[in-house]
Structures are given as C-alpha cells and as structure tokens.
C-alpha cells in the first residue's frame, strides 16, 4: 500500500474547556493541524486555543445536516482531509438529570437525542466520507473517528431516561460504524468516561479532585483522556480497540 505522507488533520466537534480543549492542545503539540467546531466559536477558551496552539475555530450547529456538511467542506479546504475526528457533544441540558420520567420534559428529551445522537450520526457520516478518500498511514489507517460518551451509555440510570437514550444511541451508532468502517481502514472508537470530568485552574493546570474530598485524582483529568485518544489514533490496524471505558481509580462501578 502507498502510505500517506500528509500530516494529521484533527477536527474536534464541541468546544468546551474540558476534553475538547485538552485534545486540541495535545493534538497541536503533536504536529497536527487542528480545527474545533462549536455553536459559539468565539468563546474565550477557543480564542485562547487559537492564540496558543494555532487551533482553527469553526461555527457549527452539529445537529443540522447542512451545517455539518459545510463544516467538513471548510475544514478540508482550510486544513486538508481530516484523519482524526472527535465527537465530543453529550447533549446534556439543564434539568436532564434528577427529573422523574413522569415529570421529564418531552422537548428536552427530543433535543437531547438530536443534539447528542443525531449530531453524532451527521458528524460520523461526514467523517467517513472524507476519510474514505485518504491514503492509509504507516499504521494502515485512513483515519480515526472517536465518540466521547458517558457512563449512561453502559447503564441506564434512574431519573435520567432521556440521557440514557442519547448515550445508548451514540454507542449503538459507534458500534455499527465500527463494524462497517474498520474493514475499510477507518478506526472507530466509543469512549465512555465513567466519571465527573475535571477542569482547568486559572494558572492553566488541571484540577481533578471533587470538592470536599480528601482523595486526589477522583475526577477524570481531560488531559489524560486526550492521551488515550491520541493512543487510539496511533494504534496499528492489526490491534484496534473499539471501546475503552475510562474511570478514576476510586470510582464505584
């Protein structure tokens, strides 16, 4: 096979200060051209990423088919064909947790499905389209598609039926895409984070201890999540992992 000699192009969907930012920094430090798409690409955390790591910002409502198609066209034009796409939207909205099924708002349930699962479908579809034109790299891969997920993908917890639906849907999609695309050289992974996720302190370091607890590292550190994503992207196609559940050492499961 003729290997690709082009540099890696990473596209991250979802632009929060947690996993998306950690991925953007790590991928940029490893020589990738990096784009981040968010509904509001002008928020300070993304502007910072542009200044410090040369990350390109894109406005995109990932639950709109035309918007996702346009996003990929723009990224291909600006950075080249993506080789690594991370879908980082879980669609949680205020009130999605802790509401009884009898009292849950139907619109909220619908929006969660659309923002999380349907956007994953749209992003996964466009990623598959552009990656299928890539040449395999040294590890035999045309590209990597990673879906960030939550423990609700593994277990439907009470008082959060809508979130369980959305996370399960995303996991089902990822599994179907993995069975379909891996034999075509595209690596698909589902990564449920079974934990609360840490955040960035003002000095730029990561915090990952729950408030009021004595034990350290009891939240998932997004910098370390990003490391696992990079390792998934670099796995040789003779030994691909589809699902990796990440949780802190003290997490109950």
For residues 31 and 158, which CB has a smaller minimum distance to a second copy in the complex? Answer: 158
C-alpha to C-alpha distance for 199 and 205, rounded to whole angstroms? 9
3 counts as binding a second copy under rule CB under 8 A = no
For residues 50 and 243, which CB has a smaller minimum distance to a second copy in the complex? Answer: 243
- Site of tokens 């009884």: 100
217 counts as binding a second copy under rule CB under 8 A = yes
Burial level of 157, CB count in 10 A (0-12/13-18/19+)? middle
For residues 7 and 110, which CB has a smaller minimum distance to a second copy in the complex? Answer: 110
1 counts as binding a second copy under rule CB under 8 A = yes
For residues 28 and 108, which CB has a smaller minimum distance to a second copy in the complex? Answer: 108
Segment near a second copy (CB under 8 A); pick from 8-16, 30-38, 84-92, 243-251:
243-251
Q: Are 103 and 31 in contact (CB under 8 A)?
A: no
C-alpha to C-alpha distance for 153 and 159, rounded to whole angstroms? 15
- Candidates 33, 55, 122, 123: give the one binding a second copy (CB under 8 A): 122
Return the DSSP state at 221: -
196 counts as binding a second copy under rule CB under 8 A = no
For residues 93 and 157, which CB has a smaller minimum distance to a second copy in the complex? Answer: 157
Number of residues that bind a second copy (CB under 8 A): 87
Binding mask 16-55 for a second copy (x = CB under 8 A): ----------------------------------------
Residues 150-179 that bind a second copy (CB under 8 A): 152-153, 155-179
C-alpha to C-alpha distance for 173 and 93, rounded to whole angstroms? 21
C-alpha to C-alpha distance for 17 and 212, rounded to whole angstroms? 22
Cβ neighbour number for residue 92 with a 10 Å cutoff? 18
210 counts as binding a second copy under rule CB under 8 A = no
C-alpha to C-alpha distance for 193 and 39, rounded to whole angstroms? 23
Structure tokens at 92: 């949680």
Shortest distance (Å) from residue 250 CB to a second copy = 5
């Amino acid at each position: 096979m003729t290997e690709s000699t082009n540099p890696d192009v990473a596209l991250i969907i979802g632009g929060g200060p947690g996993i998306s930012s950690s991925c953007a920094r790590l991928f940029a430090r490893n020589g990738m051209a990096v784009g981040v798409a968010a509904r509001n690409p002008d928020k300070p955390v993304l502007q910072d990423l542009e200044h410090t790591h040369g990350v390109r910002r894109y406005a995109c409502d990932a639950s709109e088919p035309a918007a996702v198609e346009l996003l990929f066209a723009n990224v291909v034009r600006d950075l080249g064909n993506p080789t690594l796409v991370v879908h980082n939207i879980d669609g949680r909205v205020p009130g999605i947790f802790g509401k009884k099924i009898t009292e849950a708002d139907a619109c909220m349930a619908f929006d969660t499905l659309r923002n999380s699962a349907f956007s994953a479908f749209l992003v996964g579809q466009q990623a598959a389209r552009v990656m299928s034109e890539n040449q395999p790299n040294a590890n035999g891969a045309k590209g990597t598609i990673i879906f960030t997920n939550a423990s609700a993908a593994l277990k439907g917890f009470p008082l959060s039926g809508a979130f369980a639906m959305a996370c399960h849907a995303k996991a089902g999609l990822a599994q179907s895409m993995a069975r379909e695309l891996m034999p075509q050289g595209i690596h698909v992974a589902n990564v449920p984070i079974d934990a609360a996720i840490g955040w960035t302190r003002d000095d730029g370091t990561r915090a990952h201890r729950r408030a009021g607890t004595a034990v350290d590292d009891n939240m998932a550190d997004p910098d370390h999540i990003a490391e696992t994503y990079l390792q998934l992207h670099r796995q040789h196609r003779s030994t691909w992992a589809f699902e990796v559940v990440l949780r802190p050492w003290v997490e109950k499961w």
